Structure 1
């Protein structure tokens, strides 16, 4: 029986693949167009992001080994900051997912415009298209989890196949002159160009904590979880760098910057408009599948928080199919407000604004979780050499995360601060549920 159970668990290669797939999803789908607005010099951001992301991934992998309680990043933060740290980390991470879903919907609308041009004809039309997709994927989840998971595991290939293929075969169409003309159209300095799109490139790596979240389903977690985090992140980094570099040498920079479907555009130029439309259709399917899965994940996450008395009881209510319908409706309403508040003249600008805000609200939980690693290691009494190595790498991850917050811009940082204020405001009212009379100093002699 023990041998059969071991065989059912994931090995290193399988876990690495899951990490890479979870990161790729739809995160890369609009990036070439946004990076082209700066120029090919923005590709240097990948160097910083790849190193920083690998440091973060390693820190999460180690934290996942020392703390295997449910809750992921929030559970890590709890080790150093108590229940308040758990809630603030969870709340900010949850807000980042709400915002990220709107960005995914915008990516889908961008590619959908190849078939329905009206949806990108004006900011209002884009808003209508985004909201329609948000509500469509929310309602589609009312049938419960049985179908949602199967759809997501299939549709993600709509992104992976064209992006992976471009990374390999695109070099046959690569033109040095096209790339040189796209390098630095705005005359930016080297450092300015290198840090110009850090928040955008980090967006593509969100989800790197997947290996630690699946540590209980791995054959040899102490060895495989850290390696899978590193290899998965490195593998995704290679594909990201190759695909966004080669596309700059095929499509003229101005055309790429104005595109609402960059990968469809490059395949149309490499082959023919039909292939371009096919890639567009795959991207739409992938984005809708990703959005479907994340909508359900947020609904179930909110239910878990409600069960733990951190969210209102309405989020715990399930329908006959096991779906938290009322909670999903509330969350989709909040996403609609996010979509309305970020309406921009162009689809790319709206996408960029949402990505920056999502990165800020996502990276703050990263910092909280990584900063708790020292406490975890002290409790576990790890050897001094291992302690110093882990602390050094996690510090790199925290420094990079801090700079990512800075580079996201004032508006995104302001939004992140408002989210943080909201978290502490809510905690002020629910904290008595988690503090006993004795802990509050109410014991009497």
Structure 2
């Protein structure tokens, strides 16, 4: 179950739109994937070691609190919440991109993709407001369906490579690789692997977390990373870069090129369902994260309110309001551009958590060599995201400080 949680949250919109974002980088993106998988494994191992050594900390934000105190823990927890609702918008945009292959007017009508993304976000929010059982049933169905396009594309790649060999893949660039292109692509690829910390975040609900959380985290990160490396690199290198880069549905183009238009449309439908499944899982987390912060006294008690089913109604609704506002502000972007921008923002906001956890490992002298690699990787990825995006994620992190002061004042009054 832990492994399903990790891989289910990682396999979503990134699988189906990243080939378009990475196509301009060509072979540089392949090496970007390798760096990303290595960095993610270092961070995952750091989390695994911390979970074993400090089970009382309960989750990544707890490790940060043990090392650096409550204020830093709040800032990191708040930043992670920002990354979740930014990721939800990104996933909703991906779903709309694949729906647009059935309704062409979506891609040509200004602001319509953003409005539809907001509509999908609120539809899934309503499912989660019905309670964890409703969200869980929806997740089971979409998890099964999302495997269909993955299996189909892997089978097509194997057949084409078996028939044509290396001729089916774009040649290695004569000018060699570019450090700047590898760095830029690595930040995008990390978006696909966001969520390897999911099992650690839910460690309080896991049986024998000291054993199950580390195993699921490491296995899920490695398996998902390999799937992404093969599929995204294969699509980007087996199709003309210009054709993939300008597409809102690269999976559909790939299947149409090497199979037929009919199956390609069907694959596009499954891809949209996969994105909705990932959106459902992350919407659940966007309510649970502020709830956990409030229960630890890092957010005002207002965020801790739940209904009779234990659903954090206020936190869910506020998260979706913030996500909706952000996508509407950027509604003038094309779908592919909007996806890339929001993916970078979500990744950058999450990187603060990864950097803080790695530094916590160094401060607590746990998994020190691996934690150092994770910290250096996180800094490199923040730089690769660009000054504007990383700076904006830092500003969004600092925007939570008034709520932290409100919580401290409320707690002081109560005592």
TM-score by length of 2: 0.89
Distance 1:327 1:47 in 2: 36
Could you say if the C-alpha distance between residues 173 and 365 of structure 1 is closer, same or farther in structure 2, counting changes exceeding 3 Å? same
Q: 2:194 aligns to what SS in structure 1?
A: coil
Closer/same/farther in 2, CA of residues 225 and 304 from structure 1, 3 Å limit: closer
* Aligned residues between the structures: 412
Counterparts of 1:172-183 in structure 2, within 5 Å, are 172-174=159-161, 176-177=166-167, 179-180=169-170
Q: Which of 67, 79, 86 does residue 80 from structure 1 map onto?
A: 67
Q: RMSD in angstroms over aligned alpha carbons?
A: 2.8
Equivalent position of 1:166 in the other structure: 153
Matched, 1:66 2:53: yes
Change in CA separation of 1:97 and 1:217 when aligned onto 2, cut-off 3 Å: closer
Unaligned residue ranges in structure 2 (runs of 5+): none
Summarize deviations over 1:402-432 as a string: whole Å, max 9, x none: 1110000122112112123213343344334
Match of 2:385 in 1: 408
C-alpha distance 191-267 of structure 1, shift in aligned 2 (>3 A): same
The partner residue of 1:396 within 373, 377, 400 is 373
For residues 44-443 of structure 1, the aligned pairs below 5 Å read 44-69=31-56, 72-174=59-161, 176-177=166-167, 179-180=169-170, 189-213=177-201, 222=210, 225-319=213-307, 321-377=309-365, 390-432=367-409
Q: Distance in 1 between matches of 2:324 and 2:315?
A: 14
In the aligned structure 1, how far is the partner of 2:280 from the partner of 2:100? 20
Identify which range, 418-427 or 391-400, moves more after superposition: 418-427
After superposition, give the CA deviation of every residue in 1:259-306 in whole Å (9 maximum; x if it has no partner). 111112212222211211111111111212222232233223333333
TM-score normalised according to structure 1 size: 0.84
1:336-375 Cα offsets, whole Å, 9 max, x none, are 1110223343211111111111111101011112211244
Instruction: Give SS of 2:238's match.
Output: coil
Q: 1:123 to 1:56 in 2, by over 3 A?
A: farther
Higher helix share: 2
Q: Identify if the C-alpha distance between structure 1 residues 219 and 320 changes in structure 2 by more than 3 Å, giving closer, same or farther.
A: closer
Shift in Å at residue 68 of structure 1? 2.2
Write the distance in 1 (CA, Å) between the matches of 2:289 and 2:212: 26
SS of residue paired to 1:52: helix
Distance in 2, matches of 1:305 and 1:215, equals 15
SS in 1 for 2:28: helix
Any unmatched runs of 5+ in structure 1? 1-13, 378-386, 439-445
Closer, same or farther: CA 312–55 of 1 in aligned 2, 3 Å? same
CA distance in 2, matches of 1:404, 1:215: 26
What's the offset of the Cα at 1:86? 1.9
2:43 and 2:371 in contact (8 A); partners too: yes
Change (3 A) 1:289 1:226: closer
Contact kept? 1:35, 1:43, Cα under 8 Å: no
Report which stretch shifted further, 321-330 or 39-48: 321-330
Distance 1:227 1:306, change over 3 A: closer
Contact 1:24 1:160 in 2 (8 A): no
CA distance 1:214–1:131, shift in 2 (3 Å): closer
- Give the Cα separation in 2 of the matches to 1:193 and 1:167: 26
Q: Which of the two has higher C-alpha Rg?
A: 1
From the superposition, tell whether residues 44 and 394 of structure 1 become closer, same or farther in structure 2 (CA, over 3 Å). same
- Bigger drift between 236-245 and 206-215 goes to 206-215
Partners of 1:170 and 1:204 lie apart in 2 by: 20
CA distance in 1, matches of 2:356, 2:311: 31
